[in-house]
Amino acid sequence: MAEAFDPKEVTARLKGTLSDGLGVEVREATKDRVVARLPIRDELRTVGGALHGGTLMAFADTMGAVATVLNLPAGATTTTLESKTNFFGAGRDGFAHSETTPLHRGKRTMVWQTRVSREDGKLVALVSQTQLVLHQSS
């Protein structure tokens, strides 16, 4: 079983960031899986009432970064190198839920897939992103 991290502590590390402003709450965090939710509220919607695509992308980008950080060697940091989002539906009420899992965990890059779904489980977006692993130079 993968090492588990306290989701409340992981969420607390997001304090003062964009993710905090979005209302992201990490619900489960291991090296193999990060689960989170985002409350759907008016200021995160489009004029048409759906959850804004940029909100979904920021949510997924954060979860990929969180997953990477949980897997980094000591002293390393990360930044997003590439991200691709496919949209499948609209989130309108309740929470958007995410599940982030690894596709590749290498020494220089990590690739994560984040599935974002509605309360009823319908897929809203699928995001794959590459995180660059930045090793501390001596």
Rounded to the nearest integer, the mean pLDDT of the chain is 96
What is the number of domains present in the chain?
Answer: 1
The per-residue pLDDT for 136 is: 83
Mean pLDDT for 85-113 is 97
Sequence-ordered list of residues with C-beta below 8 angstroms from that of 30, at least 6 positions apart, any chain: 2, 3, 4, 5, 70
Q: How many whole angstroms from its chain centre is CA 12?
A: 15
Query: Which domain CATH number covers 27?
Result: 3.10.129.10
Express each pLDDT in 65-80 by its tens digit: 999 999 999 999 999 9
Give the pLDDT of residue 109.
98
The model's pLDDT over 24-47, given as tens digits with 9 standing for 90+, comes to 999 999 999 999 999 999 999 999
Q: How many CA atoms lie within 13 A of 17 on its CB side?
A: 15
**pLDDT band for position 1 (50/70/90)?**
low
Phi, psi of 35 (to 5 degrees): -120, 135
Question: Could you give the count of Cα atoms lying within 13 Å of 106 in the half-sphere of its Cβ?
Answer: 9
Helix then strand count (H, E) for the chain reads 3, 7
Q: What is the pTM of this model?
A: 0.94
Say yes or no to pLDDT of 86 above 80.
yes
Given pLDDT bands bounded at 50, 70 and 90, which one contains residue 57? very high
Written as six digits, the tokens of 91 are 């989130």
Sign of CA dihedral 18, 22, 28, 31: negative
pLDDT at 3: 86
Domain that holds residue 63: 4-134
Q: Which amino acid is at 83?
A: S
Extract the tokens encoding 7.
């989701």
Query: What is the enclosing helix (H) or strand (E) of 9?
Result: helix 7-12
DSSP, collapsed to helix, strand or coil, labels residue 5 as: strand
pLDDT in tens, 104-123: 999 999 999 999 999 999 99
